Amino acid sequence: MTRRLEPSFYRGLYAITHEVALFTPEMLCEQVLAAIQGGAKIIQYRHKDVSATRREQQASALLACCRQQAVPLIINDDVALASAIGADGVHLGRDDMNLQTAREQLGKQAIIGTSCYNSIDLAIAAQQAGADYVAFGRFFASTTKPQAIEADTALLTLAKERVNLPIVAIGGITPDNGAALIDAGADMLAAIHGVFAQREIGAAAQQYTRLFNQKV
């Protein structure tokens, strides 16, 4: 595990890998490197529909790529996988391992983020439990989770007032609609299809990165 990140690090694009079963580890690495070159600050590995062996192969390859670029790799949901490969951290949802247990297994230096959907109470509880960041959303129509709980920009503004952690916005976010979320209080914008489903991944990542540069 790398050291936990300073709060000031959490500003920019949080890129989450596209779930395509046919991707080899080499293909995933190529895509992730393009996203990093486009400005992605954090990479999350998310793949629920492949075997445990293939997940470990893919995640291990991505970790090596990310380490070369000094960018943290977060594993979605799977604390055991994060521990096995020595990833930088894990992102937890409502139905995953609780945060305290994950911290015990991964150590003090692990980055642990948690999904808070549209709930300030969940975010406050996550902060009290030792989370490193909280994520809200979905904010717009999402192809990955079309039935996900909806959130709005007022939630981000309230979270900025009541939660002293970096705030990640997720769900249908594009370079065209992301600026309003940053204005409302999002420190990072998470994207899957907006980055990895695009023909030019690096250029797509740059479009998100520019939103933050414009706000400096």
Residue from 205, 181, 185, 206 nearest 195 by CA: 205
pLDDT (tens digit per residue) in 153-198: 999 999 999 999 999 999 999 999 999 999 999 999 999 999 999 9
The two counts, helices (H) then strands (E), for the chain are: 9, 8
Task: Based on the residue annotation, tell me whether 145 is a catalytic residue of this protein.
Answer: yes
Tell me if residue 3 is catalytic: no
From the candidates 55, 60, 103, 115, give the one annotated as an active-site residue.
115
Residue 3: pLDDT band with limits 50, 70, 90: low
Residue 136's pLDDT band (cuts 50, 70, 90): very high
What domains, with CATH codes, occur in the chain? 11-214 (3.20.20.70)
Q: Which of 3, 94, 108, 145 is catalytic?
A: 145
Residue 19 is predicted with a pLDDT of 78
Catalytic residue check, 215: no
What is the per-residue pLDDT across 67-115, written as a single tens digit (0 to 9) for each? 999 999 999 999 999 999 999 999 999 989 999 999 999 999 999 999 9
Alpha carbon 54 to its chain centroid, in Å, reads 21
Rounded Cα distance, 1 and 145, in Å: 29
Q: Which of 46, 54, 67, 160 is catalytic?
A: 46
pLDDT in tens, 8-55: 789 999 999 987 666 889 999 999 999 999 999 999 999 877 888 999
Predicted pLDDT at 79: 97
Rounded to the nearest 10 degrees, what angle do helices 25-37 and 201-214 cross at?
A: 30
Q: What's the whole-number average pLDDT of the chain?
A: 92
Mode of pairing for the β-strands spanning 188-191 and 111-117: unpaired
Which pLDDT does position 153 carry in this prediction?
95
Residue 65, classed as helix, strand or coil, is: helix
